[in-house]
């Protein structure tokens, strides 16, 4: 007997629900639920805006610097030579030797000049003996001759007076009186000559002056001979280091030839050529840190002490010099160095990452700030010190402001949400602060090529490109 309940349509429908049909029904319900949730999530996301990367304005120490390459300049290069020609006898210095002022460097053969000195010394002895003889012997003889001439004159005068009396009385002839007159005239002439000789032989007299002049002339000839002899001994005019030697012993040298090249001692300077765009930031007395390419791990300090008054029109650079008061021992003339000149420092500067500033190279830089309402707002900013990775914000935003990255796909007025900061972002921020304190400037090669153009590499490096 068959039951009536089993034959009803409801009973037949219940028997047709299988596990496969149940799974299909559940899938349909799940997909519908996900679609509803996704639509809601998309609607909420569109209302809140996209998630964007931001950086916060915070206070850090900023150092702005200019980096330029240059070379070590010595106080001066001196060419040491001789004014005489001759044969090199001895060399007393070689390349790299440190010498003092007046130190003997080169000797030439001096046989002939030594003989001339000896001859000049003999001439001085002869002239000195002549002066001594004039003062001791000739003067006495001249005085004695003058006294004798004066006595002869008195005797001749007495004879002439007596002869005149006799001639008046007719005792003698006129011829005898004339003879007495002649004797008187001769005695007078002899007295004049004797007195002149006596006067000439005393100090200040004519003969004495001639003798003294002859001695002075002989002494001058001796000094000239000694000077020429001394010119065969080439000495260092200043203290310094021998950088080049051009002769060897036995070489025949011509007058005026440079025998040695000397780098004189003096203040050590680094000669640089920063880009002319750095001129507005350079000031005398600014601190500089330099390092030689061969000793990059041993930096040393200096001070900017010279800025050229003119610009090199061909390279677009300005000459600058850094004085190094305490140069390291490894520093050599003409060595290549890299110099970083600190032009500005802010201990607590309100700053942001340099790459979030838009139109930074123009006169109207600006940033996109995520305001508290969640919208991107354009803010004009005024920039100050520019560090390696960060720039100072003088005005335009406040400390703690969230500045939207340039790479974010958001425009002014659009709603957006700040991405949560990660530990990696904090580490990068600390690293950026350290780089700002160091003050080194880093740029990509493409930016360097675009802005430097055909200018010299040293001038580009002056701006950190």
User: Rounded to whole angstroms, how far apart are CA atoms 451 and 120?
Assistant: 74
Which one, of 463, 399, 465, lies nearest residue 64 by Cα? Answer: 463
The pLDDT assigned to 145 comes to 65
CA distance 255 to 232: 11
* 70 vs 425, higher pLDDT: 70
pLDDT band at 381 (very low <50, low <70, confident <90, very high): very high
At 238, the pLDDT band (50, 70, 90 cuts) reads: confident
Coil vs helix vs strand at 129: helix
344 within 8 A of 61, measured Cβ to Cβ:
no
Over range 107-120, report the average pLDDT: 89
Which of the 8 DSSP states describes residue 334? T
The average pLDDT across 60-84 equals 86
- pLDDT, tens only, 152-175: 777 777 777 777 777 667 667 777
Confidence (pLDDT) at 189: 75
| CA dihedral of 380, 386, 391, 397, whole degrees rounded to 10 | -40
Q: With a cut of 60, say whether residue 73 has pLDDT above it.
A: yes
Q: Minimal CA–CA distance to 349: which of 57, 67, 66?
A: 57
Does 371 have pLDDT greater than 80?
A: yes
Structure confidence at residue 453 (pLDDT): 39
- Residue 106 Cα distances to 103, 235, 242, angstroms: 10, 7, 12
| pLDDT given at position 295 | 92
pLDDT in tens, 436-447: 444 433 333 333
Buried b (16+ CB within 10 A) or exposed e, 375-410: bbeebebebbbbbbbbbbbeebbeeebbbbeeebeb
pLDDT at 21: 63
Is residue 197 very low, low, confident or very high in pLDDT (cuts 50, 70, 90)? low
Given a cut of 60, is residue 3 above it in pLDDT?
A: no
Rounded distance between C-alpha atoms, residue 336 and residue 346, angstroms: 30
Lowest mean pLDDT among 139-148, 236-245, 316-325, 355-364: 139-148
Percentage of residues of the chain with pLDDT beyond 70? 70
Instruction: Using pLDDT thresholds of 50, 70 and 90, give the confidence band for residue 458.
Output: very low
Nearest to 246 by CA among 234, 263, 261, 231: 261
Rg of the chain over all Cα atoms, to the nearest angstrom: 54
Confidence of residue 293 (pLDDT cuts 50, 70, 90): confident
Contact 300, 291 (CB under 8 A): yes
Alpha carbons 202 and 212: distance in angstroms, whole number = 12
What is the predicted pLDDT for the residue at 142?
61
What is d(CA 32, CA 232) in angstroms, rounded to the nearest whole number? 112
Dist. CA 418–CA 427, nearest whole Å: 18
Q: How far apart are CA 186 and CA 159, in angstroms?
A: 13
Q: Looking at per-residue confidence, does 85 or 140 come out higher?
A: 85
Helix count (H) and strand count (E) of the chain? 9, 22
**Per-residue model confidence as pLDDT tens digits over 210-233:** 777 788 888 899 999 888 888 889
On the question of pLDDT at 30 being above 90, the answer is: no
pLDDT at position 451 over 50: no
Note the pLDDT of residue 5.
43
pLDDT band at 139 (very low <50, low <70, confident <90, very high): low
């Amino acid at each position: 007997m068959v039951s009536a309940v089993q034959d009803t349509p409801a009973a037949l429908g219940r028997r047709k629900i299988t596990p496969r049909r149940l799974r299909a029904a559940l899938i349909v319900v799940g997909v519908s639920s996900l679609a509803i949730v996704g639509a809601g999530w998309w609607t909420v996301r569109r209302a809140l805006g996209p998630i964007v990367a931001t950086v916060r304005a915070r206070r850090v120490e900023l150092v702005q610097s200019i980096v330029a390459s240059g070379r070590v300049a010595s106080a001066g290069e001196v060419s040491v030579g001789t004014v005489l020609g001759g044969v090199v006898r001895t060399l007393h210095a070689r390349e790299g030797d440190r010498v003092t002022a007046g130190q003997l460097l080169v000797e030439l053969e001096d046989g002939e000049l030594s003989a001339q000195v000896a001859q000049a010394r003999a001439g001085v002895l002869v002239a000195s003996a002549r002066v001594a003889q004039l003062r001791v012997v000739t003067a006495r003889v001249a005085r004695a001759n003058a006294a004798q001439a004066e006595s002869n004159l008195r005797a001749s005068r007495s004879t002439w007076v007596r002869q005149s009396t006799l001639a008046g009385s007719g005792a003698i002839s006129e011829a005898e009186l004339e003879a007495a007159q002649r004797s008187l005239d001769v005695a007078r002439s002899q007295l004049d000559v004797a007195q002149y000789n006596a006067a000439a032989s005393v100090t200040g007299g004519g003969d004495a002056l001639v003798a003294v002049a002859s001695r002075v002339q002989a002494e001058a000839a001796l000094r000239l001979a000694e000077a020429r002899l001394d010119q065969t001994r080439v000495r260092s005019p200043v203290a310094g280091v021998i950088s080049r030697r051009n002769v060897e012993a036995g070489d025949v040298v011509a007058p005026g030839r440079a025998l040695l090249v000397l780098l004189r001692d003096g203040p050590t300077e680094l000669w640089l050529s920063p880009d002319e765009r750095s001129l507005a930031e350079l000031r005398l007395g600014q601190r500089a840190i330099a390092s030689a390419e061969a000793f990059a791990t041993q930096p040393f300090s200096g001070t900017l002490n010279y800025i050229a008054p003119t610009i090199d029109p061909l390279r677009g650079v300005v000459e600058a010099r850094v004085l190094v008061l305490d140069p390291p021992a490894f520093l050599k003339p003409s060595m290549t160095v890299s110099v970083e000149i600190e032009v500005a420092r802010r201990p607590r500067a309100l700053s942001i990452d340099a790459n979030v500033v838009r139109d930074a190279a123009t006169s109207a830089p600006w940033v996109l700030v995520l305001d508290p309402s969640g919208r991107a707002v354009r803010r004009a900013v005024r920039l100050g010190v520019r560090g390696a990775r960060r720039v100072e914000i003088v005005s335009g935003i406040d400390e703690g402001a969230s500045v939207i990255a340039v790479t974010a796909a958001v425009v002014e007025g659009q709603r957006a949400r700040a991405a949560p900061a990660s530990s990696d972002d904090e580490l990068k921020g600390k690293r950026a602060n350290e780089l700002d304190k160091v003050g080194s400037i880093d740029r990509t090669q493409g930016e360097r090529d675009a802005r430097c153009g055909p200018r010299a590499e040293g001038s580009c490096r002056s701006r950190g490109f």
